[in-house]
Amino acid sequence: MSENILKKKIPSEKEAEELLKEAEKLNPGLWTAHCKTAGTCAKKIAERCNELDENKAYVMGLLHDIGRREGILDMKHIICGYRFMESKGYVDISRICLTHSFPYKDIRAYNGENDCTEKETQFIEKYLEETEYDDYDRLIQLCDALSFPDGPTFLEKRLVDVAMRRGFNDLTVDKWKAFFKLKEYFDEKARQDIYKLINLK
């Protein structure tokens, strides 16, 4: 068991699965299947990267969108997830709830509505400014973009899917470039094309 699970900064795999099940009841939707795909992808990639703990990666993938338990939300889901995980003392997950949407550190690059209050928006901006991403932040940002509810997919497909559903702006291409950089980063770390690693052909 990883050191962090022992310190209770993150829940066990079983507890994370239960939290997601409970969330599914509160706000049913395809988002929970997307989270399961993200958890599985994160685990597979982490297994190939020496410094990453695969159980921790799995739990982070499962819970990155947990804020959606509170209803149909746009950007606010990251704040709701952050608060919910923090209330349980799982600070490593609250961090992921907040960082997973920003491979490109500019709040205006978010795909969708900013339904946060002014105060919440300022909090997110300050948090991103003060946080230096680690490999878990990067891994979940990448896996979020590789995960359809029915399984893993190519970045190219998922990014186009998101743009078609939620629109795009003048920062979208820079954000896409950030995703492709993440893929290159983990291809190198895993010493393998991660598309193969997650069984894409």
Q: Which residues bind Fe ion (CB under 5 A)?
A: 65, 144
With beta carbons less than 8 A apart as the criterion, state whether 174 and 157 touch: no
- The CA distance from 45 to 190, in Å, is 7
- The CA distance from 117 to 13, in Å, is 33
With beta carbons less than 8 A apart as the criterion, state whether 6 and 59 touch: no
Instruction: Give least dist CB 3 to Fe ion, A.
Output: 26
Which one, 53 or 144, has the nearer CB to Fe ion?
A: 144
DSSP at 117: -
With beta carbons less than 8 A apart as the criterion, state whether 158 and 150 touch: no
Instruction: Give least dist CB 68 to Fe ion, A.
Output: 9
Instruction: Give least dist CB 10 to Fe ion, A.
Output: 17
Which one, 113 or 188, has the nearer CB to Fe ion?
A: 113
Instruction: Give least dist CB 58 to Fe ion, A.
Output: 15
Which one, 143 or 190, has the nearer CB to Fe ion?
A: 143
Instruction: Give least dist CB 191 to Fe ion, A.
Output: 27
- The CA distance from 66 to 93, in Å, is 10
CA distances 90 to 8, 37, 55, 62, 141, Å, are 7, 21, 15, 14, 19
Which one, 11 or 81, has the nearer CB to Fe ion?
A: 81
- Among all chains, which residue has been given the structure tokens 């948090």? 127
Which one, 52 or 97, has the nearer CB to Fe ion?
A: 97
